[in-house]
Amino acid sequence: MAVRIDSTDRITLGDVYQSLGASPLVSLGFREDNPNCLVAQAVNDALAGTAQEAGALLLTLFAPSLLPRSLPTFTAAWRNTL
């Protein structure tokens, strides 16, 4: 989905996130994806649900932030890599 922005001052971190494909913000790696143990299944389900809730919370917190507000941090970090 293309996002049309009239001014770069109005680009949000949410716009950038969406334009990059909106991949999961929180990812957990389970030792076994399909465990036979019912306890492990319950734990995996709970962790997956919690990760989804955490991702949704992160998105609501950072999505409205304007990109220009984040640029000084990015610029400083990028200069340190040179």
Query: Does residue 82 belong to any structural domain of this protein?
Result: no
Query: Does residue 49 belong to any structural domain of this protein?
Result: yes
Query: Does residue 22 belong to any structural domain of this protein?
Result: yes
List the structure tokens of 30. Answer: 């389970």
Interval 43-70: pLDDT, tens = 889 988 898 899 899 889 888 888 777 7
Query: Does residue 45 belong to any structural domain of this protein?
Result: yes
**Model pTM?**
0.59
Query: Does residue 44 belong to any structural domain of this protein?
Result: yes
Query: Does residue 80 belong to any structural domain of this protein?
Result: no
Residue 29 scores a pLDDT above 80: no
What's the domain range around 23? 8-75
- Alpha-carbon gap, residue 58 to 25, rounded angstroms: 8
Interval 1-28: pLDDT, tens = 565 656 667 788 888 888 889 888 888 7
The H-or-E segment that residue 40 falls in is helix 38-62
The number of domains in the chain is: 1
pLDDT (0 to 100) of residue 14: 87
DSSP 63: T
pLDDT (0 to 100) of residue 39: 92
pLDDT (0 to 100) of residue 2: 61
Report CA-CA distances (Å) from 25 to 3, 40, 70.
20, 23, 18
pLDDT (0 to 100) of residue 77: 78
Query: Does residue 58 belong to any structural domain of this protein?
Result: yes
